[in-house]
Amino acid sequence: MKIRNLNKKIIVSITGSTEKEWKDKLEEIKKLKVKRFAVFLSQYGPSQRQKIYKELLKIKTKKIKIPLIHLRDDMNSEEVGFLVKNFKPKYLTIHEDHFKFLDKWKEWKDKLLLEMNYNDQVPKEVAVEKIKGFCIDLSHFKASQKRQTKDFDYIISKKKSRKYFKANHLNGYNKQKEKDIHKIQSLRNFDYLTSLPNFLFGKVIALETQNPIAQQIKFKEHIISLLS
């Protein structure tokens, strides 16, 4: 397989669940002069998110781009509006269960992308046609494929509508356990990527690993070599 423009498409990310994790990654971003990155907020409550926003505003310039932000279910329309106004993300990624309260984010439907799980359940409310499209989590897809879940079937049912395949989350994959890996221990955790069909890969591919930014940059280099 060969995926084009990977150097531009793949971006590192601020991830984590503790204050130390996001602070450390943000410091690395400043030190390494990273200009494009994603932000994953689903593991952070309101108070931590406000701290993150405050620090992001401090480094905000025309050269800094945040193409993708992963939302959390307790965000109201005002908070999402703040993110869109200040950081201008191209995409906002959500989970399947977020369709139950999609109305509160209806103003940004043209930015919302669906991340599927691999738990063999697709809530009846899920309809990718209601939003911009998919953010295919590549390791979730691989796990779904191996387990032959309803999540996999749903994605494949939309295969002919290439317009829906906009972006990706990229993690490692454990083939023995058939599950995703967020803390990468070996570059071989990315080998599964070569087995995936090209149509899954979007224009923004956000690394979702818990590893430091410097390691994420190394992962990006390896993945480019793997898929080019």
Report pLDDT digits (tens) over 15-56. 999 999 999 999 999 999 999 999 999 999 999 999 999 999
Q: To the nearest whole percent, how much of the chain has pLDDT over 90?
A: 99
Task: Give 11-61 as a 3 state SS string.
Answer: EEEECCCCHHHHHHHHHHHHHCCCCEEEEECCCCCHHHHHHHHHHHHHCCC
In the chain, where the domains are located:
6-227
Residues 194-198, mean pLDDT to the nearest whole number: 97
Topology adopted by domain 6-227: TIM Barrel (3.20.20)
Residues 63-83, mean pLDDT to the nearest whole number: 98
- pLDDT grade for 2, boundaries at 50, 70 and 90: confident
pLDDT(1) > 80: no
Which is nearest to 189 in space by CA: 209, 167, 214, 212? Answer: 209
Backbone φ and ψ of 219, nearest 5°: -60, -45
- Residue 46 pLDDT: 98
